[in-house]
């Protein structure tokens, strides 16, 4: 099965600092999803990447998928307390069915 | 659409009791996923359905766990008998084909 490794497991930054979260797969990614979760709540979709080399941005968050489609990064510019939460990368395995699995997540704390 | 609806939001039960978690996916979605989230193991895929048919249940931890999807608008996850180590947040998600998955708010299960 597809294994997704996220790093770091947790991250504490000062408000205004930039940060990067990484997601690495043991297999080629056919679809890579980034979600954010507040403690005790459901997952909120951030971005989806499908093509090698693809990059998407929304407000201060940028996600990239490398050319080999085995690694993705999520970059936050000028972090704010509202960015705090758990960031999870999810991926779809290949084949005819849509098996969506996730990494263990990165806990982000942004100190004012 | 109201999104993916899970019930109950919180469940506290005694060890040995049967627990049933419920999920109503978004209308028209053909995939439904059940996940379990714990601090130690992160977000684990338990089972997923396509067009009401179970496709992959390799994540179901034991025979004590069972899931059904009798129709396109309803699914259940049952634990019988429940054990303290089953305490976790259980999420249901649905999607339309190979598109992003929408998550419910989760059911926080505590087995004492």
Give the strand pairing for A32-37 and A43-49: antiparallel
Q: Which tens digits make up the pLDDT trace of B10-41?
A: 999 999 999 999 999 999 999 999 999 998 88
Q: Tell me how close the Cα of B9 comes to any Cα of chain A, in angstroms.
A: 10
| Spatial distance between the Cα atoms of A48 and A51, rounded to a whole number of angstroms | 10
CB contact under 8 A, B106 and A41: yes
**Confidence class of residue A96 from pLDDT cuts 50, 70 and 90?**
low
Per-chain mean pLDDT for chain B: 94
**How far apart, in Å, are the Cα atoms of B60 and each of A4, A63, A69, B66?**
19, 32, 29, 8
pLDDT at position B78 over 80 = yes
pLDDT at A95: 66
Phi-psi region of A69 (alpha: psi -120 to 50; beta: other; left: phi over 0): left
pLDDT in tens, A13-52: 999 999 999 999 988 888 899 999 987 788 999 999 988 8
Instruction: Give the nearest chain A residue to B45 (CA atoms).
Output: A101
Beta strands of B1-112 (E only): which ranges?
A: 5-7, 10-13, 19-24, 31-38, 42-50, 53-56, 65-71, 74-79, 88-95, 102-103, 107-111
Calpha distance B79→B18 (Å, rounded): 6
Residue B84, helix vs strand vs coil: helix
pLDDT digits (tens, 9 = 90+) for A58-74: 999 999 999 888 999 99
Residue A53: its pLDDT value, please? Answer: 92
CB A99 within 8 A of CB A93: yes
Among B65, B74, B79, residue whose Cα is nearest residue B11: B79
| Chain B residue with Cα closest to A93 | B98
Q: Which residues of A touch B98 (CB under 8 A)?
A: 31, 92, 98
8 Å CB contact between A36 and A25: no
pLDDT for the residue numbered B57: 94
**Which of B31, B41, B100 lies closest to A48 in CB terms?**
B100
Flag whether residue B106 sits within 8 Å of chain A, measured between CB atoms.
yes
Please provide residue B62's backbone torsions phi and psi, each rounded to the nearest 5 degrees: -155, 170
Task: Report pLDDT digits (tens) over B52-61.
Answer: 999 999 999 8
């Amino acid at each position: 099965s597809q294994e997704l490794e996220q790093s770091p497991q947790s991250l504490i930054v000062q408000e205004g600092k930039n940060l990067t979260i990484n997601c690495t797969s043991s297999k080629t990614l056919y679809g890579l999803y980034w979600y954010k979760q507040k403690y005790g709540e459901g997952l909120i979709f951030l971005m989806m990447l499908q093509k090698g080399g693809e990059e998407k941005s929304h407000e201060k968050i940028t996600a990239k998928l490398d050319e080999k489609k085995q690694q993705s990064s999520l970059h936050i510019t000028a972090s704010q307390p509202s960015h705090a939460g758990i960031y999870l990368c999810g991926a779809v395995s290949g084949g005819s069915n849509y098996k969506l699995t996730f990494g263990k997540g990165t806990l982000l704390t942004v100190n004012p | 659409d109201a999104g993916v609806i899970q019930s109950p939001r919180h469940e506290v039960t005694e060890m040995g009791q049967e627990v049933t978690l419920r999920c109503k996916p978004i209308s028209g979605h053909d995939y439904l996923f059940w996940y379990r989230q714990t601090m130690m193991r992160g977000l684990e895929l338990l089972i997923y359905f396509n067009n009401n048919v179970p496709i992959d249940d390799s994540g179901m931890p034991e025979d004590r766990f069972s899931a059904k999807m009798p129709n396109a608008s309803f699914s259940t996850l049952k634990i019988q008998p429940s054990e303290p180590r089953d305490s976790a947040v259980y999420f249901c998600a649905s999607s339309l084909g190979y598109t992003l998955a929408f998550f419910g708010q989760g059911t926080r299960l505590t087995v004492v």
